[in-house]
Amino acid sequence: MTTARRPRVALEQRREQILAAALREFSHKGLHGGSTVTIAKDVEISHPNLFRVFSTKQQLFRAVLEQAFDQIVQRMVVAGEAAGDEALQVMTDAWGVLMEDRDLMLILLQGYAACDDPEIRELMHERTQEVFERTEVLPAIGTDLAHDFLAAGMFYMVAAAMDLPARAEKDEWAGRFLDSGR
């Protein structure tokens, strides 16, 4: 019984290592530019072994996107759901923290950019819909405010992609941009 558990734990750890390396690779290079060879090298496994864990490059890319959305739902939406009337402020603060993870912001943009692929498009549709619908039903938010919140969040996601938070101290425009609308 003990030996049956070890491979599962090792496989799950390996899967998480692959997802972390794939996030780094795909967030900067996208679905088509990202290299599974580079991901395998980063994790120190053979290329064929990578495909034993994720059977296709697209499946790996989708898993990275799912993990990114899971993080957003857990850290922002669930926190907002628990906050009652303070949901919008809690979610705004959570999004600010999430924005500090530039790879997370970039992978979301890469996901939207890869929507020519029907399976990626469906995943992005479903998960964006989930975030929107869970936000719009929160106390004192509604459809219009949920739209504005997510639209501003996507705009700030673009700012994170341009690395404006790192530039804000020396770039007056970046600072003004990031501080506007608050």
pLDDT, tens only, 67-116: 999 999 999 999 999 999 999 999 999 998 998 899 999 999 999 999 99
pLDDT at res. 6: 43
Given the structure tokens 């030996």, which residue do they identify? 3
pLDDT at res. 140: 86
CA distances from 169 to 47, 97, 99, 100, 180 (A): 42, 18, 17, 15, 15
Q: What span, in angstroms and rounded, lies between the C-alpha atoms of 27 and 39?
A: 12
**Residue 128 burial by CB count (10 A; 0-12/13-18/19+): exposed, middle or buried?**
middle
Structural domain count of the chain: 1
- How far the first Cα of the chain sits from its last, in Å, is 56
Its pTM surpasses 0.75 = yes
Q: What span, in angstroms and rounded, lies between the C-alpha atoms of 7 and 127?
A: 31
Q: Are 105 and 99 in contact (CB under 8 A)?
A: yes
The mean per-residue pLDDT over the stretch 114-137 comes to 97
Q: What is the CATH number of the domain that holds 145?
A: 1.10.357.10
Q: What span, in angstroms and rounded, lies between the C-alpha atoms of 54 and 72?
A: 23
pLDDT band at 181 (very low <50, low <70, confident <90, very high): low
Least confident span in 32-46, 124-138, 152-166: 152-166
The mean per-residue pLDDT over the stretch 163-180 comes to 85
Torsion 124-125-127-129 (CA) sign: positive
pLDDT, tens only, 12-53: 899 999 999 999 999 999 999 999 999 999 999 999 999 999
Residue 9 predicted with pLDDT over 70: no
pLDDT at res. 182: 56
CA distances from 78 to 62, 83, 177 (A): 22, 9, 28
Residue 169: closest CA among 157, 160, 161, 178: 178
Residue 60: closest CA among 38, 77, 93, 80: 38
pLDDT band at 169 (very low <50, low <70, confident <90, very high): confident
What residue numbers bound the domain in which 117 lies? 2-179
